[in-house]
C-alpha cells in the first residue's frame, strides 16, 4: 500500500520520528510539494498525508486509487471535501493537539506588547542601561494586565484555555458570540460582538475562517474598540482586513496588535502590517512547539492505524460518505 506525505517538513523537521508511520505502509515522505508536482508524487497512492498542500477537485479526480487523506492539522479547508466524499475517500484531521501551545502564544504576544521585553533587552545590549544616570529606565509604556478585560471571540478549546490563563493574570474574561454558551464557568461573562469589542482592553480571536467571519476585523469594528485596546490573532489571517488594521495602528486609533497569522503566508514584502506601528508578527508558530507537533504526528498516525484496522476516528466527512467505507481490514 503506497502512502505519500506531501509536506512533512513543517510537522517534522527532523526532531520527531517517522518510523511508526513507515511501519504501516510503503512510505514516501517529501519535505515540500509544489502544486504542479502533486499528481506526479501522488500517482498510485492509496493514502495521502498533507498539512498545507491543497487537494482540490481536479486533483482528487485524477487520483482514482486514493482512499484516505490524513490532514495533519485541525483545519481541513485545503481538501475539497465534497469531491473526496464523491470518490468515497475518507478524510481525517487532528483536533485539539495545539490547545495549550496556541493559548501560550496568545500571552507571549500580549506580554511582548505590554512589557516590550525584546525592546528593553536590545537596549541593554546596546549599552543604554550601562550609560543611564538612573538605576532603571524604560523606553515604552508598561502595561499591567490585572483587572483588564479580555474579549475572546470564539469559545472552543483554545478560547476556553485562554480564558483560564487570563483569569490567572487577574483579568476579566468576556466571551463574544451570537449565542450564549451553556457551560460558562464562574468569572467568564458573555456579550454580543458589539458589547465585547466596545469594552475589552484586549481582544483575542479564536474563531474559524468562514464567509461570515472573513474580514471580521474591519474599519467599522476597529472603530468600536478602545484606542488603548490590543488585538491578538492566533487563528486565521483572513479574519482581519489588513489595510484597516495597519491604518488604525499607524494613526494611533489602536494601541497594538500581536499576530501569528496573516492573510497570505508567507507574506508579501508589501504587506501593510509589516512595519506597522506597535505590531508584533510571528511566522505562524503558535502550533509548532515540539510537544504540540509530537501530539499531532501521533494522532495522525493513530487515525490512519484505526482506518487500516477498519475503524473511523476523527473523520471529517463521515456522515456524508457514500456506500461502504473500504479499508484494508474489510477486504
> For the chain, what's the residue count?
331
Cell numbers found for residue 51: 498539512
Does residue 137 sit in the same domain as residue 249? yes
Does residue 274 sit in the same domain as residue 317? no
Beta-ladder partners of 172: 149
Report d(CA 142, CA 10) in Å as an integer: 35
Does residue 9 sit in the same domain as residue 119? no
What 3-state DSSP class applies to 49? strand
Does residue 69 sit in the same domain as residue 187? no
- Contacts for 323-331: CB closer than 8 Å, 24+ residues apart: 323/88, 324/88, 325/88, 325/90, 326/67, 326/88, 327/67, 327/68, 327/90, 328/1
Does residue 103 sit in the same domain as residue 92? no
Q: Which one from 86, 284, 318, 326 is the annotated catalytic residue?
A: 284
Q: Which one from 236, 242, 293, 295 is the annotated catalytic residue?
A: 236
Does residue 62 sit in the same domain as residue 205? no
In the block, residue with C-alpha cell 517529501: 30
> Which of residues 281, 299, 315 is at a domain's end?
281
Does residue 185 sit in the same domain as residue 205? yes
Q: What is the pLDDT of residue 179?
A: 78
284 in catalytic set: yes
Q: Residue 131, Cβ neighbours under 10 Å: how many?
A: 8
Does residue 179 sit in the same domain as residue 153? yes
What 3-state DSSP class applies to 240? strand
Q: Which residues of the chain have pLDDT under 50?
A: none
What phi and psi, each to the nearest 5 degrees, are found at residue 153? Answer: -100, 100
Domain total of the chain: 2
Does residue 111 sit in the same domain as residue 188? yes
Report d(CA 10, CA 101) in Å as an integer: 16
Report d(CA 215, CA 243) in Å as an integer: 11
Question: In angstroms, how far is the first alpha carbon of the chain from the final one?
Answer: 13
- DSSP states of 78-127: TB-HHHHHHTT-EEE--TTTTHHHHHHHHHHHHHHHHH-HHHHHHHHHTT
Does residue 322 sit in the same domain as residue 206? no
Task: Provide the residue range defining the domain that includes 195.
Answer: 99-281
Task: List the CATH number of the domain containing 176.
Answer: 3.40.50.720
Does residue 118 sit in the same domain as residue 219? yes
Question: Rounded to whole angstroms, what are the CA distances from 53 to 158, 195, 236?
Answer: 25, 39, 17
Q: What is the pLDDT of residue 330?
A: 55
Does residue 126 sit in the same domain as residue 244? yes
What does the pLDDT look like over 43-96, one tens digit per residue? 999 999 999 999 999 999 999 999 999 999 998 989 999 999 999 999 999 998
* Plot region of 96 (φ>0 → left; ψ -120 to 50 → alpha; else → beta): left
Helix or strand holding residue 280 (H, E): strand 279-281
Q: What is the DSSP letter of 267?
A: P
Amino acid at each position: 500500500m503506497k502512502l505519500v506525505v506531501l509536506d512533512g517538513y513543517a510537522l517534522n523537521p527532523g526532531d520527531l520520528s517517522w518510523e511508526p508511520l513507515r511501519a504501516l505502509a510503503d512510505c514516501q515522505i517529501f519535505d515540500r510539494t509544489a502544486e504542479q508536482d502533486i499528481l506526479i508524487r501522488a500517482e498510485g497512492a492509496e493514502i495521502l498525508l498533507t498539512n498545507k498542500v491543497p487537494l482540490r477537485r481536479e486533483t482528487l479526480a485524477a487520483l482514482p486509487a486514493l482512499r484516505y487523506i490524513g490532514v495533519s492539522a485541525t483545519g481541513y479547508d485545503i481538501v475539497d471535501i465534497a469531491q473526496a466524499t464523491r470518490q468515497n475517500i475518507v478524510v481525517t484531521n487532528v483536533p485539539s493537539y495545539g490547545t495549550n501551545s496556541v493559548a501560550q502564544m496568545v500571552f507571549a504576544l500580549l506580554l511582548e506588547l505590554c512589557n516590550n521585553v525584546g525592546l528593553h533587552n536590545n537596549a541593554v545590549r546596546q549599552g543604554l542601561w550601562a550609560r543611564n544616570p538612573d538605576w532603571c529606565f524604560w523606553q515604552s509604556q508598561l502595561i499591567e494586565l490585572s483587572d483588564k478585560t479580555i474579549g475572546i471571540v470564539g469559545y472552543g478549546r483554545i478560547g476556553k484555555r485562554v480564558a483560564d490563563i487570563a483569569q490567572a493574570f487577574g483579568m476579566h474574561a468576556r466571551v463574544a458570540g451570537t449565542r450564549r454558551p451553556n457551560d460558562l464557568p464562574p468569572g467568564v461573562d458573555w456579550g454580543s460582538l458589539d458589547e465585547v469589542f466596545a469594552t475589552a482592553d484586549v481582544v483575542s480571536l479564536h474563531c474559524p475562517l468562514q464567509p461570515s467571519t472573513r474580514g471580521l476585523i474591519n474599519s467599522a469594528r476597529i472603530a468600536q474598540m478602545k484606542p488603548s485596546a490590543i488585538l491578538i490573532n492566533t487563528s486565521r489571517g483572513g479574519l482581519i482586513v489588513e489595510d484597516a488594521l495597519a491604518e488604525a495602528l499607524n494613526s494611533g486609533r489602536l494601541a497594538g496588535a500581536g499576530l501569528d497569522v496573516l492573510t497570505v503566508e508567507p507574506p508579501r514584502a508589501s504587506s501593510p502590517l509589516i512595519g506597522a506601528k506597535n505590531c508584533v508578527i510571528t511566522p505562524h508558530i503558535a502550533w509548532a512547539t515540539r510537544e504540540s507537533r509530537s501530539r499531532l504526528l501521533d494522532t495522525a498516525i493513530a487515525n490512519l492505524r484505526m482506518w487500516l484496522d477498519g475503524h473511523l476516528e476523527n473523520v471529517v466527512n463521515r456522515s456524508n460518505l457514500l456506500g461502504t467505507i473500504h479499508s484494508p481490514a474489510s477486504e
